[in-house]
A and B are shown apart, each in its own frame.
Chain A
């Protein structure tokens, strides 16, 4: 099976400041990967590089086996139709209604008629638990939580194979890469955890593997009071040996 995402010996440098040092990451189809790390550890930069919004200093990022750097614009455009991206604040177009926001990617394809698009939008609204009467509202009239769910509906409307997201609150049967600080979703939804610290992935594996690593960030993040509570909620066994 071809990996969905393949990051190979990636270096990112801003002037003298090294953000990623020879970083490698492989995401296989169907995996839900959580990307965690302290602030300034380069999570957002890595995410933006996977999305092709930023260029790494060195190394390659392949999505669906196609390198984002050096591929033709048409090919990159094709990749962009196969993933769904959910931005932190939803990033709905404020000039368009909820309906038109979700219909936008479908209309861009010019393959389906309005009748079909209408039913599809309603179906996606149902799937993210938004009542249909909100379809004609403008994003400004909605709460932040609703905006995020509608943005998820928009991200899912083209039936993507991969979803890149900041904090997920609902199970999706897709390949998912998410940046999150929310321990509850991280513990309950993700298959693999990638911990970004000291310019590299210090762990990339299951939750058990992650918490076994002795690193100040991991100790703080997973084995602090909040972390232990989230872990005990899912019954993960936690070994605290070696901690003073």
Chain B
């Protein structure tokens, strides 16, 4: 299809010629604009370079029909970034070359820095310290806000807490159930193979009960919630920074911590233990079903034997972990969310860091729990 807006213009062309006084000359004609040059730039550039090698050459640009900065720069670069002594140029094309004449020298490259690695290490350490400080400040602010909430309970952000509870709790039931069930089935299958070899079939109840209720249930639920709700919280706060909603709240005198952060921490601290209960329950059902097919232990006898095999204190320990994990995930997600700079790049980095940090923190916290409560709920009754 032809382009009706473009009148008939010749292709860009460069020819060797002779000037009136017999000196070597170069004559340029046709359209020297981006549309024409797009496909021929490399060829024309080498032709121009060859002709420009002769410094005394006359240049006739007066028959160029169309010119833009792209064409002008191509010619100017061939000239070695300065006008030749003998140049014929149409008046209307003068502006393109005068823009190039006034262009200053290019910016020099940054000098090599031998201490670059040391500097990077120092910057990373300072950043870590800054993160810790920011976190401590956030926790302090949350504590102060919590006291305020206790003194004036009616002014609390109850609607926000309820909404967050729905988002981080109710809406996470499906995915935690699916993952919990599958983990239960897989764990049960693997253990059953080993136990069968020793004729210790009945200990599947102890193994699964203790493993899932005390360790796996809380950690799996927490990792899922960190990936699901933690990233959502960081992204939400980050976008609020980008769209200046956070600044709008500040200038209206509404503190972020009370309206945005406290509800999320409270909601996750409430939802997490309940999600752990739910995940562990479903995982045990999966494990019991697999034990039934592999070892012939009926589902009924599995659950009858469970309270005897796993002391109840383990369940409380798991719930306690849930409160700590939930609050940790929300705190880290909010911390990274508030640190997002108003640009998209920072939003992506912030969300990634938030999820990685909260999963790491959950596992570290779990290890601390394991050490502190090493002699609680382990001995069989």
Contacts and interface: CB of A to CB of B under 8 A. Distances in A.
A159 B69 contact: yes
A215 interface: no
B5 interface: yes
A135 interface: yes
A140 B74 contact: no
Nearest to B3: A64
Contacts of A159: 33-34, 68-70
A116 B73 contact: yes
Interface residues of B, number: 34
A2 B4 CA distance: 7
A106 to B, nearest CB: 9
Given A2-B4, A75-B1, A159-B68, A119 B344 contact: no
Contacts of A94: 343-346
Contacts of B104: 126, 132
Nearest to A125: B103
Interface stretch (B37-45, B138-146, B292-300, B372-380): B37-45
A115 interface: yes
Contact of B5 (A2, A95, A122, A158): A2
A75 to B, nearest CB: 6
Nearest to B344: A94
Contacts of B106: 118-119, 122, 132
A41 B313 CA distance: 66
Interface string B33-70: 11101110110010000000000000000000000111
Interface string B1-25: 1011100000000000000000000
Interface in B231-266: none
Contacts of B42: 111, 113
Contacts of B345: 94-95, 138, 140
A127 B72 CA distance: 15
A140 B346 contact: yes
Interface string A75-100: 10000011000000000001100000
A66 interface: yes
A177 B68 CA distance: 21
Interface in A132-177: 132-133, 135-136, 138-140, 158-159, 161
B66 to A, nearest CB: 10
Interface string B279-300: 0000000000000000000000
B1 A66 contact: yes
Nearest to B67: A159
A158 B69 CA distance: 9
A136 B33 CA distance: 28
Nearest to A110: B38
A109 interface: yes
B128 interface: no
A146 to B, nearest CB: 14
Contact of A126 (B37, B45, B103): B103
Nearest to B39: A111
Interface in A38-61: none
A66 B345 CA distance: 37
Contacts of B4: 2, 64-65
B107 interface: yes
Nearest to A71: B1
B312 interface: no
Contacts of B81: 119
Given A65-B4, A140-B346, A120 B99 contact: no
Contact of B341 (A2, A123, A140): A140
A207 B380 CA distance: 92
Interface string B115-128: 00000000000000
Contacts of A119: 73, 77, 81, 103, 106
Contact of B37 (A1, A95, A111): A111
A112 interface: yes
Interface string B96-112: 00011011101100100
25 contacts: A2-B4, A65-B3, A65-B4, A66-B3, A81-B34, A82-B35, A94-B343, A111-B37, A111-B38, A111-B41, A111-B42, A113-B42, A118-B106, A119-B103, A123-B73, A123-B99, A126-B104, A132-B104, A132-B107, A138-B345, A140-B342, A158-B34, A159-B34, A159-B69, A161-B5
Interface of B: 1, 3-5, 33-35, 37-39, 41-42, 45, 68-70, 73-74, 77, 81, 99-100, 102-104, 106-107, 110, 341-346
Given A112-B70, A119-B77, 8 more contacts: A95-B344, A109-B38, A119-B103, A122-B103, A122-B106, A123-B99, A140-B343, A159-B68
Q: Which 8 A-B pairs have the closest CB atoms?
A: A94-B343, A159-B68, A65-B4, A94-B345, A2-B5, A140-B343, A111-B41, A2-B4
